[in-house]
Amino acid sequence: MSDAALGQFAYRLKRIYGNSTDVDALANDLLRVCQNYVEANQRTLLQVPTSADSPRWSEQDVILITYGNSIQAPGEVPMQTLAKFLSERLSGTVNAVHILPFFPYSSDDGFSVIDYRQVNPEWGTWDDVASIAASFDLMADLVINHCSRENLWFVDYIGNHEPYSEYFIEVDPSTDVSLVTRPRNTPLLTPVHTHRGVRHVWATFSEDQIDLNFANPKVLLEFIQIYLFYIERGARFIRLDAVAFLWKQIGTRCLHLPQTHEVVKLLRDVVNFVAPEVVVITETNVPVVENLSYFGESDEAHMVYQFGLPPLVLHALNRGNSSFISDWADSIPVLPKGCTYLNFTASHDGIGVRPVEGILPEREVQDLIDCMHRFGGFVSMKANSDGSESPYEINITLFDACMGTRRGVDHFQVQRFLCSQAIMLAMQGIPALYIHSFTASANDLAHVEQTGRTRSINRKVWDKDELEYLLSNSVTAQAEVFHELSRMIRIRRKQPAFSPDARQDVVKINSDVFILKRTSVDASQRIYAISNVTERILKLPLAALGFLENGLMDILALEPTTLIDELVLYPYQTVWLTQSV
């Protein structure tokens, strides 16, 4: 099996580096890294086909997204507070937890990593991470594109100490970099005072987040060791943060370059041989077709983020019109074998608008942005190659984004928000819910003022006692959302038609409703997930619908409800109709 691994590694490394490095020696180094992992963990080096038939996921998989310090209690380590909250409130509801970067950091709430192998001591220890991983599948971030300028690698780069003197990308400031795709409106090159004088280094996201030089094989090998270290520490899911920007080549967009895809495939090769249960996820906030390219030919990412979903769900509910989300969902290609989507409507980042390029007309996007401004949100901009700027993402909590429609604020905020979650839960893939969706968090403008960053609006840190009080008080929005969302998830987890591998079809009847038909792999169950995206009561005669029949039961109803003659949908109501059992 070692020979097979060695051959595959050499093949992949050749596609990355060509003749610029000794591929055979590098493949042997990589094999030794994998063998060290295998020996340390008493595992067997296996060759697992990239289209392995063993199930990686099921309808039971539901992921919580949270920071390690999103909930705090006086005198208590935040990750221990999080562990208690998970055990007391979410056991049996979610089975996996994505703890956003929990390493020492200097900015961007964790995404500017100072030390990849340590836990932020203000949040906890590796033992605290292990405690959570013992009860929930763990998702960890491999912040692979860049590191903090306070990282010791960069300190050694400044001091011109090998091997770190070649860990970063120097560019002459007179170089034309206008073609480079920018997710921010900050300068691409940042000046740094080094022992060799002032150097300009590549910094895609900020002057504190310095891009790493993957053209140097030592950087790649370093990150594969970190990758295996996270798996050793209990990670079942590995999220490749901002991976689309990984490889740089002047004269190109420096986005989705072939070498970037080959690096992701190499990471897939590594787990195929040493940890086949691990799921590799790419995070690429880009237009839909570009995003889907990270499936490769079932040999790259196991999962990709469904970035088109958040803006399209919000647009449908804000506009009272399902046409665009229905057309988009109907056009989603059939999933490659062994691949699925990570579905989400909210995360630590904003609601991206790049993924709807070519799907929503510019006027619709601008109208949505204008409405989110009225609801207290902000918009982050990106730089374009012609020197102009354009919207990149909307910064707002999803709960407050649902406080009204384009006509203004109304009293349907909770219903509209729950509808957004019901749509997401019905989509093909694995659902991932942000902690601030569970807690119906409002815009945290005080946090924005404190940090000076608009993204902080959606990164509230809850006091545990305050949160518990709100969740225990039945008249609060937090209690209503938390309990209803938890109930929906527990129902979902029992339905084979909601398996990530179950078939998805879109049914179009009019723009008032969004309808998905899900059919289980063995065809034993079908579910019609029907959402009213308007503030009106809809009465739909079965005879006019045609695709529904009497006897279907709404499994989302508080009491079993069987469909007879007519389907009545209240404002923003979702029904999950299935055969009576």
Model pLDDT for residues 409-419, shown as the tens digit of each residue: 999 999 999 99
Read off the pLDDT of residues 290-315 as tens digits, 9 standing for 90 and up. Answer: 999 999 999 999 999 999 999 999 99
The token pair that represents 504 in the structure block: 């998805």
Residue 46 is predicted with a pLDDT of 64
Q: What is the mean pLDDT of the chain?
A: 95
Residue-wise pLDDT tens digits, 524-576:
999 999 999 999 999 999 888 888 878 899 999 998 788 888 999 999 999 99
pLDDT, tens digit, 9 for 90 and up, residues 422-442: 999 999 999 999 999 999 999
Residue where the block lists tokens 């006086």? 74
How many structural domains are present in the chain?
A: 2
Q: Which pair of tokens denotes residue 417?
A: 């928000």
Q: Do 456 and 388 lie in a common domain?
A: yes
Mean pLDDT of the 27-37 span: 96
DSSP 87: I
CB 148 within 8 Å of CB 154: yes
The pLDDT of residue 513: 98
What pLDDT score was predicted for residue 51? 45
In whole angstroms, what is the distance from residue 242 CA to residue 307 CA?
13
Domain interval for residue 529:
503-579
In this prediction, residues 355-377 reach a mean pLDDT of 96
Of the three residues 439, 464, 492, the one that is the final residue of a domain is 492
pLDDT at residue number 285: 86
Helices (H), 253-307: 258-274, 288-292
> How many C-alpha atoms does 259 have within 13 Å on its Cβ side?
18
Rounded to whole angstroms, the Cα distance separating 327 from 96 reads 31
Q: Annotated binding site for substrate: which residue ranges?
A: 108, 146, 239-241, 348-349, 455
Q: Is residue 485 domain-shared with residue 512, that is, in the same domain? A: no
**Could you read off the pLDDT of 251-273 as tens digits, one per residue?**
999 999 999 999 999 999 999 99
Question: pLDDT tens for residues 100-150?
Answer: 999 999 999 999 999 999 999 999 999 999 999 999 999 999 999 999 999
Residue 249 has pLDDT above 50, yes or no: yes
Confirm whether 289 is domain-assigned: no
End residue of a domain, out of 492, 517, 534: 492
Q: CA 201 to CA 198: how far, in whole Å?
A: 10
Catalytic residues: 241
What does the pLDDT read at residue 544?
Answer: 80
What is the per-residue pLDDT for 159? 97
pLDDT at 400: 98
Six-digit token string for 241: 């943060």
pLDDT at 49 over 50: no
Q: How confident is the model at residue 282 (pLDDT cuts 50, 70, 90)?
A: very high
Cβ pair 568, 539 in contact under 8 A = yes
- Dihedral sign from CA coordinates of 251, 254, 256, 262: positive
> Are residues 353 and 469 part of one domain?
yes
pLDDT attached to residue 54? 55
- Looking at the predicted structure, is the pLDDT value of residue 50 above 60? no
Q: Is residue 458 located within the same domain as residue 562?
A: no
pLDDT band at 332 (very low <50, low <70, confident <90, very high): very high
Residue 268 CA to residue 300 CA, distance in Å, equals 6
β-pairing verdict for 303-305 and 340-343: parallel
In a shared domain, residues 450 and 483: yes
The proportion of the chain whose per-residue pLDDT surpasses 90, expressed as a percent, equals: 89
Q: Yes or no: say if 290 and 284 are a contact pair by the CB < 8 Å rule.
A: yes
Query: What pTM value is reported for the model?
Result: 0.96
- Are 487 and 424 in the same domain? yes
Q: Residue positions in the annotated binding site?
A: 108, 146, 239-241, 348-349, 455
> Among 492, 511, 546, where does a domain finish?
492
